[in-house]
Homo-oligomer: A and B are copies of this chain.
Amino acid sequence: MPFGYNGKILHLDLSSGSIDVESLREEFYRTYMGGSGLIGYYLLKMLKPGTDPLSPDNVLVFAPGVMTGAPLGGMCRFAVGAKSPLTNAFGQSEAGGFWGPELKRAGYDAIVIKGKADKPVYIYIDDGDVKICDAGHLWGKKTGEVQDIIRAEHDDPAIRVAQIGPGGENLVRFACITNELKHFNGRNGLGAVMGSKNLKAIAVRGKGQIPVADRKLMSEISKKFGTSVMENPLTRGLYENGTAASVLGNNAAGILPTKNFHYGEFDRADLISAKAMNEKILVAREGCYACPVRCKRAVKSERFSVEPRFGGPEYETLASFGSLCMIDDVEVIAKANQMCNEYTLDTISTGMTIAFAMECFEAGILTKEETDGMELTFGNSEALLAMIEKIAKREGFGDVLAEGSKRASKIIGRGSEKFVLTVKGQELPMHDPRGKYSVGLAYATSEKGADHMVAAHDTMIASKDQYSFSEIAPFGILEPEKPTKFSPLKVRTFAYLTAWWSFFNAAGICDFVPVPRSSMPVNDVINALSAFTGWKTSLFEAVKVGERALALARVFNAREGFGVEDDLLPERLHSPLKNGALKGNFLPKEDFLEALHLYYAMMGWDEGGVPTEEKLLELGLDWLVEGYGKSDHISGQ
C-alpha cells in the first residue's frame, strides 16, 4: 500500500458508459504528481490537436495532487482540466474545499472523462463504487437544490458534490464548477465542458484513510503551522478579513482595477472593503479541509436573499463586480457573487465581460436596443444583476456576453476590441500589473490565459522581511527586487517561483499556505511531502515537477497553434494609469518583451515559448520527443 496516493485513476467514457480503473506506479505520481501535471499528461496522450472544446472528444480531468488529503492545512486542492472553450488552450482551474480529499478517500487519485452522455447524468462515487446516474431531474436546476437532491437521493448528507448550474449547461464560455456550493474551479470555462458532456455533477463519498508515511514528522509540521498561522500577519489577516483584505491595500497602492482598468484607485473602495463586509454581511469565517487559516467567508443579506451556504465574495469578486464596474454596494456584490455561484459563472470573467460591455455602452458603441433596453453604465447595480442572469441563461444580449469579452467584441465590432482586456481570450484578474510587473509576466505567459494563480506576486518578493525574503533563500535568491522593475533578478525570481507555484498545483497544495510571507516555509512544504509519501525528496525535485507541468501545458498550446503573439498583454496595461498612487505609471512594453524572452530562455523554452526538445528530455518527457535527436517535431504520441 503506497502512502499519499491510491495508485488508481478512474477512466469514464460517457458515450459508451464504460468505467475503468487504471493502476499506476509510484514513478507516475512522482513524475506528474497530480493537478496540472497529471492533466497535461492525459490531455497530451488523449486529445487530438484542433479538437472542439465543446465536442464529445474533449477530455475532462478532475485531478487532486499527491498532497491532497494530507492532514495539514492547505492540502485540499484539486484541479479540473480540459481544452478550454474560452481560450482554446490548455484549460485548468483549481479549487479548494473538501471534494479533492473526499475523492482520494474514496480510493481514486483522479478522474479522466471523455465522450458525451446521451442524456444528462451525474457520476456517483461511493467508497470505490462508481455509478453513472440519470440527472434528468437535476438539469436546469441551480446548484443549491441539486446538492440537496443528490444528498437526499442517497440518504447521505456528507456526500461532496462538484457540479454545474445552468451557466455550465448553457455552455457559457466562462462557466465554472462548484463544490460544496462555495468552492470553485473558476476559470477557463470548464463548467461548459461538463455541460457539453451532459455531465451535471460528480458526487463523492469516501470513508477511507490515506496513510501517512511519517506521522510524527507530519504532526510536527502541522503543529508548527497551526501556531504560526495566528502569529503571521498574512495568514492572520486572511483569517480576519479573508482575501477581501486586499481591497484597501491595493487601492492605496493604486492597483485596484477600477472602471475596466482605466483607474487604479476607487474613491469608494471602503464601501466594498473587508471592513464593509465584516460589518454588513459577514456571518461566519470558514475554511477548507484540515486548514486552520479559515480564509473563506459566509455572508448573508436579507435585502438580496443572500444565503451563507453559497460562501461570500473573495477579493477578486469584490473588485470585478465592485471597483471594476464602479459599484459601491457590498450587498449588491454579494448578490452578484451568489448568482454566479448558483448558476456557476466565473466571477472574474463575468465582471470583466460586463465591464467591457459597460465601456462599450458609455462609448456609444452599444445602444439600449442592443442591451435589451438596459442602461449598461458603470455603477448600475440593477443592470449588473440583470445581466448576470441573462448571461447564465443566454438570454438576449446575455447570449453575446456568454461568449466572453473577446468573442463578444468580434460580434459587436465597431472598435470594441480596444476595450477587451484578455490574454489568450481570458479576462484579466484583479491585480493591475502596472504596479506589480511579475503579475504582468504571469498573466501573459500563463498557459491558461490571464490568471493570478500561477506565480508569486511581486509584493511577496520585494521586501526583505522575515516572512518573505528569507523564505526565498532556499532558491538561492538572496536579494529582493522592487515590484515596478524588470531585471534579470526579477525574471530569475519569477522563473523559479513560477515553477514552485506550478508544483503547488500539481501537488494539490493551496497557494495561500506555503507562499513566501506565509506560515509554512519552503522547506516545511518539502518535509511535509516527504512525511506524507515517504519519498526522499527535495526542493529540487519539486521545482522539476513544477517545470514539467508547465512544459506539458506549453507543448499542448504549441500543438494548438499558440505562440509568442499569444503571450502578450492588452495595450491598456502599457498605457498610463489615470489616477491613484501610480497615476501616470505604465508597464513599459520594451522592458516587458525583454523580460518575456529572458523568461523563456531561463525556462528552457525557445523564442516561440515552446520547451526545447532538450528541456523535455531533461524533464524526463522523452515520449514527447519524436525520434530523440533526429527530428524537430514534437508529437503527442
Chain A contact residues, CB within 8 Å of chain B:
26-27, 30-31, 470-471, 473-476, 478-479, 488-489, 491-492, 495-496, 521-523, 526, 535-541, 543-545, 594, 598, 601-602, 604, 612, 614-615, 617-618, 620, 622, 625, 628-629
Residue from B479, B604, B617, B620 in contact with A27 in the complex, judged by beta carbons closer than 8 Å:
B479
- Contact A536-B478, Cβ < 8 Å, known A598-B617, A612-B601, A617-B598: no
Evaluate contact between A475 and B540: CB separation under 8 angstroms. yes
Residue from B30, B474, B537, B622 in contact with A541 in the complex, judged by beta carbons closer than 8 Å:
B474
Contacts of A545 in B (CB 8 A): 476
Additional A-B contacts beyond A475-B540, A523-B536 (13; CB < 8 A):
A27-B479, A31-B476, A31-B478, A473-B537, A473-B541, A474-B536, A522-B536, A540-B540, A598-B614, A598-B629, A601-B612, A601-B614, A602-B618
Closest to A598 in B: B614
A593 to chain B, nearest CB (A): 10
CA distance A522 to B598 in the complex (A): 31
CA distance A594 to B630 in the complex (A): 10
A208 to chain B, nearest CB (A): 26
Closest to A544 in B: B476
Closest to A622 in B: B488
Q: Kindly report how many copies of this chain are found in the complex they form together.
A: 2
Contacts of A620 in B (CB 8 A): 476, 478, 488-489, 492
Contacts of A614 in B (CB 8 A): 598, 601-602
Contacts of A31 in B (CB 8 A): 476, 478
- Contact A539-B536, Cβ < 8 Å, known A478-B27, A489-B620, A601-B612: no
Evaluate contact between A618 and B536: CB separation under 8 angstroms. no
Evaluate contact between A538 and B489: CB separation under 8 angstroms. no
Evaluate contact between B601 and A538: CB separation under 8 angstroms. no
Which of A476, A496, A541 has most chain B Cβ within 10 Å?
A476
CA distance A598 to B31 in the complex (A): 21
Residue from B475, B537, B604 in contact with A604 in the complex, judged by beta carbons closer than 8 Å:
B604
Contacts of A615 in B (CB 8 A): 601-602
A271 to chain B, nearest CB (A): 42
Closest to A477 in B: B620
Contacts of A492 in B (CB 8 A): 617-618, 620
CA distance A629 to B495 in the complex (A): 17
Closest to A630 in B: B594
In the A-B complex, the 8 residue pairs with the closest CB atoms: A601-B614, A474-B538, A488-B617, A538-B539, A476-B541, A539-B540, A602-B618, A540-B540
Residue from B478, B522, B594 in contact with A30 in the complex, judged by beta carbons closer than 8 Å:
B478
Evaluate contact between B491 and A536: CB separation under 8 angstroms. no
Q: What are 8 sample pairs from A and B whose C-beta atoms fall under 8 A apart? A: A471-B536, A475-B538, A476-B544, A476-B620, A521-B536, A594-B629, A601-B615, A604-B604
Evaluate contact between B622 and A474: CB separation under 8 angstroms. no
Contacts of A602 in B (CB 8 A): 614-615, 617-618
CA distance A543 to B30 in the complex (A): 20
CA distance A622 to B598 in the complex (A): 13
Contacts of A537 in B (CB 8 A): 473-474
A362 to chain B, nearest CB (A): 41
Contacts of A475 in B (CB 8 A): 538, 540-541, 544
Contacts of A489 in B (CB 8 A): 620, 622
Contacts of A538 in B (CB 8 A): 474-475, 522-523, 526, 538-540
A525 to chain B, nearest CB (A): 11
A518 to chain B, nearest CB (A): 14
Evaluate contact between A617 and B521: CB separation under 8 angstroms. no
- Contact A495-B618, Cβ < 8 Å, known A31-B478, A478-B31, A598-B629: yes
A501 to chain B, nearest CB (A): 15
CA distance A402 to B248 in the complex (A): 75
A545 to chain B, nearest CB (A): 7
CA distance A293 to B35 in the complex (A): 45
Contacts of A625 in B (CB 8 A): 488
Residue from B473, B541, B617 in contact with A536 in the complex, judged by beta carbons closer than 8 Å:
B473
A474 to chain B, nearest CB (A): 4
CA distance A495 to B604 in the complex (A): 14
Contacts of A598 in B (CB 8 A): 614, 617, 629
CA distance A478 to B594 in the complex (A): 36
CA distance A488 to B474 in the complex (A): 28
Evaluate contact between A540 and B474: CB separation under 8 angstroms. yes
Evaluate contact between B540 and A476: CB separation under 8 angstroms. yes
Closest to A479 in B: B27
CA distance A473 to B538 in the complex (A): 9
CA distance A492 to B541 in the complex (A): 13
A581 to chain B, nearest CB (A): 29
A28 to chain B, nearest CB (A): 10
CA distance A227 to B331 in the complex (A): 66
